[in-house]
Structure 1
C-alpha cells in the first residue's frame, strides 16, 4: 500500500519531493507543477526515470509505470530502451529525418543539408531505410558500404559517417541497446586506394574571372586563397603564415 493518496497528490503545493514508496516520488516545483519520478538502484547505481506530469498521469498509473520499470531493471533490461520500444522504434529513414531537424541550425547552408540527405537516399535507404534502428547490425552497414567502398571511396566515407551519426542519435535516444560498431565495420572492408593528392591546374586565362568570383565571398579562407594565387606560395605556408613574415612596406612599393 502506497503512502500517498489521490487527494494528497491533488492537495500538494509545497515545493519538494513526496515519497509514495518503492522508489516512486511526486515532485512539486516552485511554480506549482507536479510530476512523477521513479528512482531505482541496482548494483550500487542509482537512476531516476521521469514518468510524466501528475496532471496527466494518475497516482495509480504512476505506480504501474514504476512497477514496470523496477521489473525491467530486475531482468537486466534498460528501462529507457524498453520504453522507447513500447512507443515505437523509428526506421532509419524516420531517424534520419529527426537528425536532420535537430542539426538543421548547425548546417553551413541548405545545400549541405541536401547533399547530406542525398547520399543516404542514394546508398543507404535502398538497403536499411525501412529497417528499425534497433535492428541495424554491423554486417548490414558493411553491405551498404561494400558496394561503393572501392569505386567511390570519398562518397563511401561520407555515407559511413552519416549512417554513424543517425545511429549515434538512435543510441543516445534509447532506441538502440548498443552503439553501431563503425570502427570494426571499417576494419572489415578492404583498404581503399590512396588519393592521388593532385588537382588539375586552372588555365591561366580563367584565373581573373575566378578571382572576381572568389571576391564575392566573405571569409578568411577566401583571403588566404587569393594570397596564395598572387604569391604562388604553398598552401601550408599560407595557412601557417604570421604577420612578422610579411613586409607590408615592400608590398606597397611593389604595387607602385
Structure 2
C-alpha cells in the first residue's frame, strides 16, 4: 500500500527522505525543494535515479516512471545507462540540426557587448555572409571538417589575404564555442598552428602605408570642409585637429568632454590599446565641437536618423565629395606624425603619445607613466596653427584670384 499521499506531499516541509512503494523516495531539502528519486539495486550496487521535482512531477507520474524503470530492471537494463544513452542520442539529433550560421550568429550576439564598436560587429557579419555562409552556413556545425574550411579559405587566401586570415580566426572561434556547447567533438579544423599553417601557403602581406594628405593641403581642405553643413564634415575636422582614429571620433560622447579644462577623455573600452586617452583640445577643435552642440543629447556626431553615432564610412564619403578620395581618413594621423617629426622639436615620445601609441621601449614605458598632457597640448596647438594659417593663406589666395 502506498505510503505517500497528495495532501502529505503538499504540506510536508521538514527536510528529510520520505519513502513510497517500490523504491520511490521524496527528498525535501533545507530550502524546501522537493525532488523524486528512484532507489534501486543492480549487481549488488545501490543507485539513485532522479525523476524530477514535485509538483512539476506529480505523485502519479513519479509512480508510473518507477513502473517503467522497474520493467527495465527486470530485463537487466540499467535505467541510468539507458538514460545516458537516450541523452546522447538526443545530443546527436540536436547536433545535426544546429547549423554553422546559427552558431556564428549566436557567437556574435554573445560577444558584441564586449567589442569596442559596432563596426567590428559589422565586419564579422559581413565577412561571414560574403565568404563563409555560402559554403558552410547551412552545414551542421558538428560536421565541419578541415576540407570544408579549406574550401572557404583557398579561393581568397592570396587574393585578399588580410580578410582570409581574419576569417580563419573567426571560423575557429565559432567552432570552439560550438565545442564548448557540446555540439562538436575533436580538434578544431580551423586551428592555425600545427594544422592549417601546414596546408596553406605563406601569405605575402606587405605593409602598405595609408595614403596621407600632405600637410600643405590641410588648410585648403579645412576650408572646403567648413563650407559643408554636414555632421560628417565636422567629424572630419575634429579628426584632423586631434589626430584621433575614425571610430574614436565618430563614437564621441558629450560626457567625454571637459570644455573648461580643454580635455577630451576617451574611455579605455573605446581605445585600440585599451587604455584611457586624454586629448588636449585646440581652439579649432573646440570651435568644431561647438557647432555640434544641441544636435544630440549623447553623441557629438549622430547618424542621420539620430539613433546612434555616425557610421565609420561617413568621413570617407565626405572626403570623396570634396574630391579628396585618393586619401584615407586614417592618413591624417600619418600626416600629423610626419609633420611633427620633420617640422617640430618635440621629442618622439610626445608625438607618439599624441597618437595614443604605446612606447616601444618597455623599460622607457615602465618609468614614464604620465601622459605628458601639457607638452602634448603645446604640440596640438602648433598643429592647429599650421592648419589655420594654411586655411588663411588659401582664403587670401582665393580672394586675390577673384
**TM-score normalized by the length of structure 2:** 0.45
Matched, 1:84 2:91: yes
- 2: CA distance, partners of 1:6 / 1:86: 38
Q: 1:45: which partner in 2?
A: none
Task: Work out whether residues 35 and 52 of structure 1, in 8 Å CA contact, stay in contact via their aligned partners in 2.
Answer: yes
SS at 1:163 equivalent: helix
- 1: CA distance, partners of 2:199 / 2:180: 25
Runs of 5+ in structure 1 lacking a partner?
A: 39-48
**TM-score normalized by the length of structure 1:** 0.66
Q: 1:101: which partner in 2?
A: 109
Change beyond 3 A, Cα 1:93–1:203: same
User: For 1:17-72, what per-residue CA distance to the aligned partner results, in whole angstroms no more than 9, with x for missing partners?
Assistant: 8999xxx997755443446799xxxxxxxxxx9986554455355986x9565248
Q: 1:196: which partner in 2?
A: 207
Change beyond 3 A, Cα 1:202–1:124: same
Runs of 5+ in structure 2 lacking a partner?
A: 39-48, 70-76, 223-236, 253-264, 267-275, 281-332, 342-347, 360-364, 383-402
Q: 1:32: which partner in 2?
A: 32
1:208-219 alignment runs, 5 A limit: 209=237, 210-212=239-241, 214=244, 216=249, 217=252, 218-219=265-266
- 1: CA distance, partners of 2:94 / 2:13: 32
**Could you tell me which of 97, 119, 125 is aligned with 1:117?**
125
Matched, 1:239 2:358: yes
1:159, distance to aligned residue in structure 2 (A): 1.1
Matched, 1:177 2:185: yes
1:86, distance to aligned residue in structure 2 (A): 3.6
Change beyond 3 A, Cα 1:152–1:251: closer
CA root-mean-square deviation: 4.7
Change beyond 3 A, Cα 1:51–1:221: farther
Quick check: which has more Rg, 1 or 2? Answer: 2
- 2: CA distance, partners of 1:165 / 1:17: 46
- 1: CA distance, partners of 2:112 / 2:30: 34
Number of residue pairs aligned between Structure 1 and Structure 2: 234
1:118, distance to aligned residue in structure 2 (A): 1.0
- 2: CA distance, partners of 1:51 / 1:178: 32
Change beyond 3 A, Cα 1:106–1:246: closer
